[in-house]
Amino acid sequence: MVDPHLLFEQLFNGIQYGILLFLLAAGLTLVFGIMDLMNLAHGSLYMLGAYIAATVTLAADSFLLGIAVALPATLFVGILLEVIVLRKLYDRGHLDQVLATFGMILFFNELVRLIWGPAGIEVPLPVVLNASLTLFDIPLPVYRILVIGVGLAVAAFLYVLVVKTKVGMLIRAGASNREMVGALGIDIKKVFTLVFGLGAALAALAGVMAGPIFAATIGMGENILIQVLVVIVIGGIGSIRGAFVGALLIGVIEILGRSFLDDLFKLFLPVNAAETAAPAAASMLIYILMAGVLFFRPQGLFPARSG
Amino acid sequence: MSLSRETIVVIITFALLAIVPFIASLTEVPFYLDLGRRMMILAIGALSLNLIMGYGGMISFGHAVFVGIGAYVVGICAEHEIVSGFIQWPLALIVCAAFAFIFGAISLRTRGVYFIMITLALAQMMYFLGVSLDRYGGDDGLPLIEPSNFSGLIDLSEKTSLYYLVFVLLLLCLWICKRLVNSRFGMVIQGARSNEARMQAIGFPTYRYQLTAFVIAGAMAGLAGVLLANHTDFVNPDMMHWTRSGDLIIMVLLGGMGSLAGPVVGALVFILLEEALSGITEYWQLIFGPFLILVVLFARGGLLGFLEKRKTSEGEGD
């Protein structure tokens, strides 16, 4: 039967993965909710963050320096994208936005291949973080605990920013009525650029932290982007709270599904059939969940627009 | 009576496609035959997407999944030694229509950006399913041992016959699209795109109409998949990958969304661009990506739309 230690360990890994998804989903859902912009290139910023951090980390032998360079660099690229292209797309249909940002994905993937080559980069863990804490006889890697800590801090920061500050007020006002905020003398374009930059920095942060866990590879952005989209759909577009709950849910289901679904299937299927069906079913699990959520709540679990 | 520019472009396009096999054998470059066939197969896929996206306003970002399912039906049948095209082909269309019914029923409950994301996610789900199907090649795909067998009626391993079969089927699909778009059914679909609430108010159950359109488009994309499997003698999950769906959208937009033959022209231009650019540099997407952004920003309406616009500015438009 299922080993409780293993279950706990995988639950922990699932939460950590969920936190990673949250960092991406938070930026994307804000951009979605406030600017009504479908940005597929969000995953490219994540990839860019991971590659820049990996290069600096390896060259300078300092993970901290990697973060210190990758975040502002990606922030800069994000703002550049917003000012040059995306700004012109706010008033366009979603199809135009999808296509233009799809073009960006092609561009960035090829750019990374040109600069760094087709092979990925393994990022070594800083020695300090390469340890484990033991809780109830279960070793928990310090690095993963750190990732969860950073994610929770970001969640708290975003909550305070959006709900308690003047900038947050402008963000929410801009989301509900762009023209009116502009008419009141506020430079709404600046607010949009700021929000987009914030999203880019969060994507880079996720990329940096993913480096030592998954390595930096071309296409890493798209694979996770699809899962992030599922998170946003489940959570409700534009809702940070929805993104947080959705991300943890998807992270845990994804990891637990891969680890335990074959054991579960073996309870009522022959061993052979279970071993064939389990990986297939595990990879479909989150999409089935999404279809289910949509069937009962088409606007997601925490619809932001209505409330 | 003068023909519209669109008609002229279409006639020229098909005339060129019709003589490709002769050019290929004259110049002794069989690659042209291959290229032309791939263009036409993708054109069928793009045509089917245009039905729901261009006319119905349903932006599906997972349309390639039906191409993949159609191809997989052929591949899986062949793997189990069912090689008769009379079984494979109808079965593929039925399976695609069934999947389109389920996926459509789920995704049509939503609108706008949600619809885009759900079609994308459902397609990725099938992609991952294909990757995890070890019995049928998994990630590596499934070689097609022999092409669909039409017991002497037509020999698909003969590449020129396959070419003309694809040619005829493309014409057939274009004709079907024309009939559909101009029918009462097509009018309802287009009406729902412009104003769904109003269509419902005058008594049309738009959901059922849209779902029907989605199923028809899915089956037509499945036909493209069946042909693609016979074209490449190979089936793999990559056919369902979301970037393939993106390619289909690009083709529709390049040609001109919501114009009948636009997707055909778009598919041709897309493949030609891909060939030309990858001839210039290995990193061709470095050029293609920004090109796409420029098309979105400055060339709305695609190539045929561009032609139509010129027509109107010359003062002979409607």
Tell me how far apart the alpha carbons of residues A248 and A231 are, in angstroms, rounded to a whole number: 9
Q: Which of the given ranges, A172-186, B68-82, B127-141, has the highest pLDDT on average?
A: B68-82
User: Distance from B4 to chain A by nearest Cα, in Å?
Assistant: 27
Structural domain includes residue A303: no
Structural domain includes residue A132: no
Structural domain includes residue A134: no
Structural domain includes residue B76: yes
Using the Cβ of A225 and the Cβ atoms of chain B, whether some distance falls under 8 Å is answered with no
Amino acid of residue B265: V
Contacts of B193 (CB under 8 A, 6+ apart): B55, B56, B57
Directed axis angle between helix A188-214 and helix A166-176, to 10°? 100
Q: Does the distance separating the beta carbons of A233 and B283 come in below 8 Å? A: no
For testing the chain A interface, which of B285, B287, B294, B295 should be mutated: the one with the most A CBs within 10 Å? B285
User: Distance from A139 to chain B by nearest Cα, in Å?
Assistant: 31
pLDDT confidence bin for B66, thresholds 50/70/90: very high
Count CB-CB contacts under 10 A for residue B241.
Answer: 20
Q: How many domains does chain B have?
A: 1
Chain B residue with CA closest to A96: the answer is: B296
Structural domain includes residue A131: no
**Maximum separation of any 2 CA atoms in chain A, in Å:** 69
Structural domain includes residue A216: yes
Using the Cβ of B281 and the Cβ atoms of chain A, whether some distance falls under 8 Å is answered with no
Q: Which of A45-49, A204-208, B22-26, B188-192 is least confident?
A: B22-26
Tokens 């798209």 label which residue?
A: A222
- Expressed as residue numbers, the domain containing A68 is 7-126+141-296
> What is the mean predicted confidence (pLDDT) over B228-251?
91
At residue A9's C-alpha, the angle toward residues A6 and A11, to 5°, is 105
For testing the chain B interface, which of A89, A96, A224, A226 should be mutated: the one with the most B CBs within 10 Å? A226
Using the Cβ of A94 and the Cβ atoms of chain B, whether some distance falls under 8 Å is answered with yes
Structural domain includes residue A217: yes
Output the domain CATH number for residue A207: 1.10.3470
8 Å CB contact between B248 and B43: no
Structural domain includes residue B105: yes
Q: Does the distance separating the beta carbons of B250 and A102 come in below 8 Å? A: yes
Using the Cβ of B251 and the Cβ atoms of chain A, whether some distance falls under 8 Å is answered with no
Q: How many domains does chain A have?
A: 1
Residue A116's Cβ-count burial label (10 Å; 0-12, 13-18, 19+) is middle
Structural domain includes residue B300: no
For testing the chain A interface, which of B296, B297, B300 should be mutated: the one with the most A CBs within 10 Å? B296
> What is the mean predicted confidence (pLDDT) over B42-70?
93
User: Does the pLDDT value for residue B100 go beyond 90?
Assistant: yes
8 Å CB contact between B83 and B149: yes
Phi/psi of residue B183, each to 5°?
-85, 175
HEC string for chain B: CCCCHHHHHHHHHHHHHHHHHHHHHHHCCCHHHHHHHHHHHHHHHHHHHHHHHHHCCCCCCCCHHHHHHHHHHHHHHHHCCCCEHHHHHHHHHHHHHHHHHHHHHHHCCCCHHHHHHHHHHHHHHHHHHHHHCHHHCHHHCEECCCCCECCCCCCCCCHHHHHHHHHHHHHHHHHHHHHHHCCHHHHHHHHHHHCHHHHHHCCCCHHHHHHHHHHHHHHHHHHHHHHHHHHHCEECHHHHCHHHHHHHHHHHHHHCCCCCCHHHHHHHHHHHHHHHHHHHCCCCHHHHHHHHHHHHHHCCCHHHHHHHHHHHHCCCCC
pLDDT confidence of residue B313: 47
At residue B161's C-alpha, the angle toward residues B265 and B141, to 5°, is 75
pLDDT confidence of residue B302: 67
Q: In chain A, positions 146-205, which contact chain B (CB-CB < 8 Å)?
A: none
Nearest-10 Cα torsion for A75, A81, A82, A88: 180
User: Distance from B115 to chain A by nearest Cα, in Å?
Assistant: 10
Instruction: Give the residue from B231, B284, B224, B184 showing the smallest Cα distance to B89.
Output: B224
Structural domain includes residue A304: no
Count CB-CB contacts under 10 A for residue A300.
Answer: 27
Amino acid of residue B95: V
Using the Cβ of B278 and the Cβ atoms of chain A, whether some distance falls under 8 Å is answered with no
8 Å CB contact between B136 and B142: yes
For residue A132, give Cα distances in angstroms to A6, A122, A135, A139, A145. Answer: 16, 20, 10, 6, 9
Q: Does the distance separating the beta carbons of B296 and A96 come in below 8 Å? A: yes
pTM of the model: 0.87
Q: Does the distance separating the beta carbons of B292 and A103 come in below 8 Å? A: yes
Using the Cβ of B22 and the Cβ atoms of chain A, whether some distance falls under 8 Å is answered with no
Contacts of A193 (CB under 8 A, 6+ apart): A79, A82, A83, A87
pLDDT confidence bin for B195, thresholds 50/70/90: confident
Residue with more model confidence, B209 or A176:
B209
Kindly give the confidence (pLDDT) of every residue in chain A, 307 residues in length, as a single tens digit, with 9 standing for 90 and above. Answer: 567 778 888 888 899 999 999 999 988 888 887 778 888 889 999 999 999 998 988 888 888 888 889 999 999 999 999 888 888 888 888 888 888 999 999 999 989 988 888 888 888 777 777 777 777 777 778 888 888 999 999 999 988 888 888 888 887 787 777 778 878 888 878 888 888 899 999 999 998 888 888 888 888 888 888 889 889 888 888 788 889 999 999 999 988 888 887 777 777 777 777 777 777 788 788 888 888 887 788 777 877 653 3
- Sequence length of chain A is 307
HEC string for chain A: CCCHHHHHHHHHHHHHHHHHHHHHHHHHHHHHHHHCCCCCCHHHHHHHHHHHHHHHHHHHCCHHHHHHHHHHHHHHHHHHHHHHCHHHHCCCCHHHHHHHHHHHHHHHHHHHHHHHCCCCECCCCCHHHCCEEEECCEEEEHHHHHHHHHHHHHHHHHHHHHHHCHHHHHHHHHHHCHHHHHHCCCCHHHHHHHHHHHHHHHHHHHHHHHHHHHCECCCHHHHHHHHHHHHHHHHCCCCHHHHHHHHHHHHHHHHHHHHHHHHHHHCCCCHHHHHHHHHHHHHHHHHHHHHHHHHHCCCCCCCCCCC
Count CB-CB contacts under 10 A for residue A29.
Answer: 29
- Expressed as residue numbers, the domain containing B78 is 5-241
Structural domain includes residue B142: yes
Residue with more model confidence, A239 or B191:
B191
For testing the chain A interface, which of B106, B114, B240 should be mutated: the one with the most A CBs within 10 Å? B114
Structural domain includes residue A210: yes
User: Does the pLDDT value for residue B314 go beyond 60?
Assistant: no
Residues of A in contact with B134 (CB under 8 A): 276
pLDDT confidence bin for B102, thresholds 50/70/90: very high
Structural domain includes residue B204: yes
Q: Does the distance separating the beta carbons of A94 and B132 come in below 8 Å? A: no
Mean pLDDT, chain B, whole residue set: 86
